[in-house]
């Protein structure tokens, strides 16, 4: 018996490059074995009778199957929330003003330092359950609300535990260069030295880091500080990514590209030169419509230029308490289309194939192709565009992760 399971009576959005939109195959079959995809194609082309080919045969009832969705940029592990700052902002204060007044990221740093590890795990679990209920099977989780050794590592340990608890693929990103902690006030270079010489190598040694990120911005770190950190990361064999050009053009896209960055993220203020550098380096553009919307930004990222240059575009929630308290990747598909003017096919590539690329997971994730992880989602829809179309709907009826059916945990709140 070659395969463990086979799905029949399904339409596949494989998201693989091919002749059809969405890499679609209608009236298809999908076989899996040993946690990997073993066969993808038209039902009519199956090499034998289903019962002979697989131990378990499932009827998908005419539903669509996509690859497991990938949320490639989250800060989902944090203490407290920032509803009070939202209240201030809607009454007129700006994000930058709140940050300068000691609020913003630093208020979440205080809450995250104070929270016990179990408390962080429970808080983040509610949010991760929400993402998983919409078909997310892999996500990236950043540190960056600790800014000291113990708390950064606490966040990263929670990230790893979330992966185990939910059976999800989790990629961790070390973001100690998120903002300057209060105890280093006026000494940003000293803080970067601490991060490079102690925080980063020690957390890496503990096996907690898959990639390194920084916030290159006027209210955070400058280019020289970012480069110093990236040099250290690359010397340790770790890939980099960057919060780039979110609130102003700091040359972030080009800086990420110069270090063969997996991705440059946000990009609202990225210049043509930054786009060209990303295209040359193969750096993925991670677009975050939730943050754009939530901060009521008006300057759109250079979507047309990215498209023209052939830069792969991914899309993510940026789930965080300050600028994007978003736990719906499906909502990001809709906003990617309505707010950023991406096509329905582009946004779906953005949470599958290109999101895998932003995490260095291209070989194993992001498309329905033989040899890749058996991570996929069943949807009660008439076509893939429906995933980007409806707001607040969740047509997910089943998830398979690593070849195993998932219980869809609906979040308590
Ligand atoms: N950019 C963002 O949008 C988040 N971090 C960053 O560097 C915001 C994080 C926060 O406000 O807590
Ligand atoms: Fe972010």
In the chain, the largest separation of any two C-alpha atoms, in whole Å, equals 71
- Ligand 1 atom nearest the C-alpha of 215 is 7
| Ligand 1, pocket-test mutation among 93, 94, 95, 105, most atoms within 8 A of CB | 105
- Ligand 1 atom nearest the C-alpha of 291 is 3
Q: Which of 240, 189, 190, 251 is nearest to 217 (CA)?
A: 251
d(CA 29, CA 7) in angstroms, rounded, equals 6
- Are the C-beta atoms of residues 292 and 92 closer than 8 Å to each other? no
User: Residue whose CA is closest, atom 10 of ligand 1?
Assistant: 322
Any ligand 1 atom below 6 A from CB of 317:
no
d(CA 72, CA 187) in angstroms, rounded, equals 31
Any ligand 1 atom below 6 A from CB of 246:
yes
Tokens 């929330």 found at? 81
CA of 75 to the centre of ligand 2 (A): 6
CA of 25 to the centre of ligand 2 (A): 35
- Ligand 1 atom nearest the C-alpha of 295 is 3
CB environment 202-239: b (16+ within 10 A), e (fewer):
ebbeeebbbbbbbbbbebbbeeebbebbbebbeeeebb
Any ligand 1 atom below 6 A from CB of 243:
yes
User: Residue whose CA is closest, atom 4 of ligand 1?
Assistant: 323
User: Residue whose CA is closest, atom 7 of ligand 1?
Assistant: 215
d(CA 267, CA 276) in angstroms, rounded, equals 13
CB atoms near residue 271 (< 10 Å): 16
CA of 74 to the centre of ligand 2 (A): 6
Backbone angles phi, psi at 238, to 5 degrees: -100, 135
CB atoms near residue 364 (< 10 Å): 14
Q: Can you list the residues of the chain whose pLDDT is less than 70?
A: 1, 408-413
Q: Which of 68, 132, 162, 160 is nearest to 374 (CA)?
A: 68
Q: Name the H helices within 143-187.
A: 149-166
Q: Which of 14, 24, 28 is nearest to 62 (CA)?
A: 28
Q: Using alpha carbons only, what angle is made at residue 176 by residues 171 and 179, rounded to the nearest 5 degrees?
A: 130
Any ligand 1 atom below 6 A from CB of 291:
yes
CA of 48 to the centre of ligand 1 (A): 53
Any ligand 1 atom below 6 A from CB of 104:
yes
CA distances (Å), 49 to each of 43, 46, 108, in order?
A: 10, 7, 57
- Are the C-beta atoms of residues 288 and 314 closer than 8 Å to each other? no
Pair type for strands 313-315 and 376-379: unpaired
Q: Coil, strand or helix: which one is 248?
A: coil
Q: Using alpha carbons only, what angle is made at residue 42 by residues 39 and 48, rounded to the nearest 5 degrees?
A: 65
Any ligand 1 atom below 6 A from CB of 103:
no
d(CA 148, CA 78) in angstroms, rounded, equals 14
CA of 157 to the centre of ligand 2 (A): 19
d(CA 377, CA 293) in angstroms, rounded, equals 27
User: Residue whose CA is closest, atom 3 of ligand 1?
Assistant: 323
d(CA 284, CA 241) in angstroms, rounded, equals 9
Q: Coil, strand or helix: which one is 199?
A: helix
Read off the tokens for 274: 């930054």
Any ligand 1 atom below 6 A from CB of 323:
yes
- Are the C-beta atoms of residues 220 and 253 closer than 8 Å to each other? no
**Measured in whole angstroms, how far is the alpha carbon of residue 25 from the centre of its chain?**
26
d(CA 155, CA 159) in angstroms, rounded, equals 6
272, exposed or middle or buried, with CB in 10 Å at 0-12, 13-18, 19+?
exposed
Q: What is the pLDDT of residues 120-144, one digit of tens each?
A: 999 999 999 999 999 999 999 999 9
CA of 207 to the centre of ligand 1 (A): 25
- pLDDT at residue 245, rounded to an integer: 97
| Ligand 1, pocket-test mutation among 322, 324, 325, 332, most atoms within 8 A of CB | 322
- pLDDT at residue 1, rounded to an integer: 65
Any ligand 1 atom below 6 A from CB of 320:
yes
User: Residue whose CA is closest, atom 2 of ligand 1?
Assistant: 323
CA of 6 to the centre of ligand 2 (A): 38
- pLDDT at residue 409, rounded to an integer: 52
Any ligand 1 atom below 6 A from CB of 321:
yes
Long-range contacts of 45-50 (CB under 8 A, 24+ apart): 50/6, 50/8
CB atoms near residue 175 (< 10 Å): 25
CA of 284 to the centre of ligand 1 (A): 19
């Amino acid at each position: 018996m070659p395969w463990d399971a086979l799905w029949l009576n399904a339409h596949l959005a494989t998201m693989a490059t091919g002749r059809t939109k969405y890499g679609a195959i209608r009236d298809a079959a999908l076989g899996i074995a040993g946690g990997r995809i073993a066969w993808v194609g038209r039902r009519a082309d199956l090499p034998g009778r289903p019962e002979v080919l697989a131990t378990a045969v499932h009827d998908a009832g005419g539903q669509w199957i996509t690859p497991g969705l990938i949320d490639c940029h989250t800060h989902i592990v944090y203490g407290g929330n920032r509803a009070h700052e939202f209240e201030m902002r809607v009454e007129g204060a700006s994000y930058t003003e709140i940050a300068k007044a000691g609020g913003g990221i630093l208020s979440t740093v205080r809450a995250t330092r104070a929270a016990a590890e179990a408390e962080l795990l429970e808080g983040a679990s509610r949010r991760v359950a929400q993402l998983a209920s919409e078909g997310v099977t892999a996500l990236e989780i950043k540190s960056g609300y600790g800014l000291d050794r113990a708390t950064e590592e606490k966040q990263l340990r929670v990230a790893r535990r979330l992966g185990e608890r939910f059976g999800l693929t989790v990629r961790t990103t070390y973001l100690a260069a998120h903002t300057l902690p209060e105890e280093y006030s006026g000494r940003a270079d000293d803080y970067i030295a601490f991060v490079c010489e102690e925080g980063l190598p020690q957390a890496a040694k503990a096996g907690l880091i898959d990639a390194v990120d920084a916030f290159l911005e006027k209210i955070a770190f400058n280019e020289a500080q970012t480069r110093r950190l990236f040099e250290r990361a690359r010397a340790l064999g770790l890939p980099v990514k960057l919060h780039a050009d979110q609130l102003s053009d700091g040359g972030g896209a080009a800086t990420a590209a110069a270090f063969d960055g997996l991705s440059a993220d946000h990009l609202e203020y990225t210049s043509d030169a930054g786009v060209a550098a990303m295209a040359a380096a193969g750096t993925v553009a991670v677009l975050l419509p939730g943050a754009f919307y939530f901060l009521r930004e008006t300057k759109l990222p250079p979507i047309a230029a990215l498209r023209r240059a052939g830069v792969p575009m991914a899309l993510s929630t940026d789930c965080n308490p300050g600028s994007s308290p978003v736990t719906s990747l499906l909502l990001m598909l809709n906003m990617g289309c309505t707010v950023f003017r991406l096509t329905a096919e582009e946004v779906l590539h953005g949470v599958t194939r290109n999101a895998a690329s932003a995490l260095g997971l291209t070989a194993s994730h992001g498309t329905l192709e033989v040899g890749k992880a058996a991570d996929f989602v069943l949807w009660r829809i008439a076509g893939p565009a429906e995933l980007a179309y409806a707001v607040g709907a969740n047509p997910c009826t089943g998830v398979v992760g690593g070849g195993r059916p998932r219980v869809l945990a609906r979040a308590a709140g």
